Amino acid sequence: MERFFLGGNTAYGFRGFYDGELARADNVVLLKGAPGTGKSTLIKGIGAECARRGLDHEMWYCSGDPSSADGIYVKELSAAVADATSPHPCEPSLPVIRERTADMAAALDRARLLPRKAEIERLLKFKKDSYERAYDMLKSAFGHYRRAERMYLQSADAAKIRRLAAAFALSERALFPEDGGKGRDVFSSAITADGNVSFYDHLAGKRVFVPEGCEIGARIFAEEVAALAGGGIRLHFPLLPEHLDGVLFPGVAVVSDAGQFGTAAEKLYLGDGEGAAACEAELNRCREWVKAACAELAAARTAHLKVEKLHAECMDYSVTDEIAERVKKMLFG
């Protein structure tokens, strides 16, 4: 079982890879419904059922609140369940044939909700404003990162790093699939209410390579390997998703951060010390703005949780249980 983020809080606002990932599945259930209607609980319950049945699966988590599940992909069944509420851009392409929808909000009692309308509207506005402030801060982080890139490239030899990546891809070509195929796009890290959160499950059982040097150089290296090898699972940089933090193949990974697998990882030395020193101050300023954005995301989550609580008080959980059983039948038959 691996964990990823399909969407992230970036310098460009919320960006995600939902369409591409859901297109891999033959059977998709899209969950609709307001906060607190049980979408994440249902997705985690399906994960527990997969574990009980011995079915390999991926869990997709929420970049706003990494304790909340946004979706699950059951590999052996080619089936997925995903939260399709805003900001997740999940719309049916083959309704009923491939995608079916379950509306968790059907369990909400409107008569009990109406007296709470003003409070819910206030909290949702606070959440929206907090996200807007967070994205403004990530734009500031973007400016510092771009300046860091320029300073790095003035002092480091990017062409040399690309040559190192090409030599690595050639020397280790047996590790890469012959037909790379289209590949996949996900985040293994996200800018969240809990700070920068990363998952490393996908590195288990793989030969892991870590470019040693400045993070900018490590991304140049990973992007060159990804382009040369083709296919694989591309791990995107959460602040600027056009850049990569790494790339995964069935038996090998090239990543800028290996987490708990770092002690056993094989180091690939970039020799870019001058570039790293030149841009260090700007990268630190970038990190400070990201940290400030995370504080705003935490404020947004607090408001979201209060809305969840208000909704939960107006739920008929017997309806929720019926929907959950129906979704499980859609997946498992």
Amino acid 179: pLDDT: 64
Find the helix or strand (DSSP H, E) in which 92 lies. none
Amino acid 180: pLDDT: 59
Both 100 and 8 in one domain: the answer is yes
Both 168 and 241 in one domain: the answer is yes
Amino acid 124: pLDDT: 97
The amino acid that residue 86 corresponds to is: S
Cβ neighbours for 288, distance < 8 A, ≥ 6 positions apart: none
Is residue 177's pLDDT more than 80? no
HSE toward the beta carbon, residue 238, CA cutoff 13 A: 27
- Kindly state the average pLDDT of the residues 295-322: 96
Q: In this predicted model, what pLDDT tens digit does every residue of 55-92 receive, in sequence order? A: 999 999 999 999 999 999 999 999 999 999 988 777 88
27 assigned to some structural domain? yes
Both 103 and 165 in one domain: the answer is no
Is residue 305's pLDDT more than 70? yes
- Kindly state the average pLDDT of the residues 206-227: 96
Is residue 274's pLDDT more than 90? yes
CB-neighbour burial class of residue 207 (10 A; exposed 0-12, middle 13-18, buried 19+): middle
**Both tokens assigned to 58:** 């991926």
Is residue 311's pLDDT more than 90? yes
326 assigned to some structural domain? yes
Least confident among 11-25, 143-157, 165-179, 205-219: 165-179
Both 179 and 257 in one domain: the answer is yes
| Residue ranges making up the domain that contains 199 | 157-271
Both 166 and 265 in one domain: the answer is yes
37 assigned to some structural domain? yes
DSSP string, 18-76: HHHHHTT-SEEEEEE--TTSSHHHHHHHHHHHHHHHT--EEEEE-SS-TTSEEEEEETT
Task: Say which residue, 117 or 229, is predicted with more confidence.
Answer: 117
Is residue 50's pLDDT more than 70? yes
- Kindly state the average pLDDT of the residues 256-271: 95
120 assigned to some structural domain? no
With contact defined as beta carbons under 8 Å apart, do 75 and 23 qualify? no
Cβ neighbours for 163, distance < 8 A, ≥ 6 positions apart: none
Q: How many domains does the chain have?
A: 2
Is residue 162's pLDDT more than 90? yes
114 assigned to some structural domain? no
Q: In this prediction, what percent of the chain has a pLDDT beyond 90?
A: 89
41 assigned to some structural domain? yes
Is residue 317's pLDDT more than 70? yes
- Distances in whole angstroms, Cα of residue 4 to Cα of each of 48, 152, 176, 233: 17, 30, 22, 11
Both 88 and 162 in one domain: the answer is no
Residue 129's region, left for phi above 0, alpha for psi from -120 to 50, else beta, is alpha
Both 7 and 102 in one domain: the answer is yes
The C-alpha atoms of residue 184 and residue 26 are separated, in whole angstroms, by: 16
Amino acid 171: pLDDT: 84
With contact defined as beta carbons under 8 Å apart, do 5 and 189 qualify? yes
The amino acid that residue 228 corresponds to is: L
pTM above 0.75, yes or no: yes
Q: In this predicted model, what pLDDT tens digit does every residue of 231-246 receive, in sequence order? A: 899 999 999 999 999 9
252 assigned to some structural domain? yes
304 assigned to some structural domain? no
Q: In this predicted model, what pLDDT tens digit does every residue of 110-140 receive, in sequence order? A: 999 999 999 999 999 999 999 999 999 999 9
Q: What is the mean pLDDT of the chain?
A: 95
